[in-house]
Amino acid sequence: MSFALAVASGLLLAFSFPSIGNPVIAWVALAPLLVALHRAPPGRSFLLGLVTGLVYFTGTLYWITQVMAVYGGLATVVAVVINALLIAYLSLFPALFAMVVSRVSLAVGPRGLLAAPFVWVATELGRTYILTGFPWVLLGYSQATNIPVAQLAAIFGVYGLSALVAGVSASLAYVAIRQLTPATGQGTRSLLANYRPLMLMLALVVAIGIWGTFRVRRGDLTRNGDAVTVGLIQGNVDQSDKWDQRRAAGIFRDYLAMTRKAIGEGAQVVLWPESSIPFYFEEDRPAAEEVRTLAREAKVPLLVGSDQIDRSTPPTRYYNSAFLVRPDGSTGAVYRKMHLVPFGEYVPMKRVLFFAKHLVEAVSDFSPGDAAVLLPVRGHLMSTAICYEIVYPDLVRTSASGGSELLSTITNDAWFGRTSAPYQHFAQASMRAIENGRYLVRSANTGISGIVDPYGRVLAQTAIFQQAVVVGEARFIRERTIYSSIGDVFAYASAVLTLATLVILRRRVK
């Protein structure tokens, strides 16, 4: 029965995220697992959490197998094995969560379940940074479209939302366990006490929802700062055509034509997707000059994604970069991607993964950038995140707190195919807008491209695998949210609280 409950939690977690999920499900997702943890010894609890994690991450990261098989040139069985290893690793974090919660519950009784929100956040923080991190589908991201409640991210970030959602599950599990094991002679007052954590948690959710609704309706941030009309280019170039020299000229002409269309519709700055140029921007001078000429003629800055080669010092290094071309045609700034995609832009532990030889050969060996370079646009500063960098909260926050007045992200989600991944990616990007109180503009090769306001509301959004030009208004904003000032203090406090609790319990046992 307990393992069935663990599977149920895994399924509920998986169905909390887009495109097939619903954010409402997330509020009860952890409850079955927490009920199963009641009186379970740490070893069994670890296994229960592991089962939940395996189901959770299989349901949300299944698409990685396709990426490695189709674009990495791996046999399907090898791709499945590598993805299974990643899923197994990520599942260790829910397993650790379960073991810690079980340990606390065994020491203090059902009340120990109420520590679950903080323990869960502590493990999510670990998942963000350990072994370079992979903070995909954090629980708080499930609420990206629940706009009133999602405003909590402006104070505590996505981790605060994770804790809030986990808190409801914890209080539900607490009620269930107390009802299943009532004390002898339990009176009405005791029965009401059983429901007190749930009532307090629901009251907190309602209060946050009311505050969030008021915050969004007031909409101060949408009236602040200077307006700018942004053009987003979605070229819809198939991954197999991207570096086909026979297609390169046509792809480039399409991007130039779509850019002219965006400028014709009033765009004052235009964004191309990640690695959109089918050549090295600094290497192919005639083609690059066409981009620079377009910027000069239109007097519009262009942000273009292109790979970059640095031969200044041996060995030669390759970077996934974004070039800001000024209205005078010069290069205003270059941002080099800092968080590279494992198995996409580099292969970790190459010697260990010797059986993935074809993948190692197929993946470009990129180097990470070392600075969050800001881009000058119309007298203001804009930042950009390339591809899955946008799911790292502190990376984007660092740019906002460092002076970025407009968030941008460029990506190539063609790798994902027609799976849930593009929708997950877009939702996670939207959370950065709320956290930092900034407009976010996103140019994606195959979609989803769009504009998100500082409250997480989607103002424009494209369909996937369609060529599109999006032109819409954003604003340069200087005001800072609480989160952009304090960062992930709540997440680190949760980690400290979790560790302190374990130390105290260990001393009590001695």
For residue 190, what pLDDT is reported? 65
Q: What is the CA radius of gyration of the chain?
A: 24
**pLDDT tens digits, 246-294:** 888 899 999 999 999 999 999 999 999 998 988 899 888 899 999 999 9
Distance CA(14)–CA(29), nearest Å, equals 9
- The reply to whether 261 belongs to the active site is no
Higher pLDDT, 366 or 72: 366
**Residue 186 predicted with pLDDT over 80:** no
Distance CA(337)–CA(331), nearest Å, equals 17
- The reply to whether 510 belongs to the active site is no
Residues ≥6 apart with Cβ < 8 Å to 346:
340, 363, 364, 365, 366
Q: How far is CA 218 from CA 99, 153, 214, 215, 401, in A?
A: 44, 17, 6, 5, 23
Task: Give the single-character DSSP code of 68.
Answer: I
Q: How far is CA 76 from CA 316, 359, 420, in A?
A: 33, 12, 19
For residue 17, what pLDDT is reported? 96
Residues ≥6 apart with Cβ < 8 Å to 46:
95, 96, 98, 99
Task: State the pLDDT confidence band at 350, using cuts at 50, 70 and 90.
Answer: low
Q: For the residues 171-199, what does the mean pLDDT come to?
A: 78
Q: Which two tokens stand for residue 118?
A: 């903080």
**pLDDT tens digits, 470-497:** 999 999 999 999 999 999 999 999 999 9
Q: For the residues 82-108, what does the mean pLDDT come to?
A: 95
- Which ranges in the chain are annotated with CATH 3.60.110.10? 221-479
**Residue 298 predicted with pLDDT over 50:** yes
Amino acid at 107: A
Q: Annotated catalytic residue: which of 124, 261, 265, 274? A: 274
For residue 184, what pLDDT is reported? 46
Distance CA(434)–CA(148), nearest Å, equals 11
**pLDDT tens digits, 144-158:** 999 999 999 999 999
> pTM higher than 0.95 for the full model?
no
Return the CATH number of the domain spanning residue range 221-479. 3.60.110.10
Q: For the residues 26-45, what does the mean pLDDT come to?
A: 95
Q: Annotated catalytic residue: which of 124, 337, 345, 435? A: 337
Give 288: exposed, middle or buried? Use CB within 10 Å, 0-12, 13-18, 19+. buried
Q: Which two tokens stand for residue 418?
A: 């027609």
Task: State the pLDDT confidence band at 79, using cuts at 50, 70 and 90.
Answer: confident
- The reply to whether 387 belongs to the active site is yes
**Residue 75 predicted with pLDDT over 50:** yes
**pLDDT tens digits, 187-227:** 555 667 789 999 999 999 999 999 999 999 999 999 999 99
Higher pLDDT, 179 or 463: 463
Task: State the pLDDT confidence band at 331, using cuts at 50, 70 and 90.
Answer: very high
Task: State the pLDDT confidence band at 314, using cuts at 50, 70 and 90.
Answer: confident
Q: What is the mean pLDDT of the chain?
A: 91
Q: What percent of the chain has pLDDT over 90?
A: 76
**Residue 366 predicted with pLDDT over 60:** yes
Amino acid at 463: A
Q: Annotated catalytic residue: which of 242, 345, 357, 387? A: 387
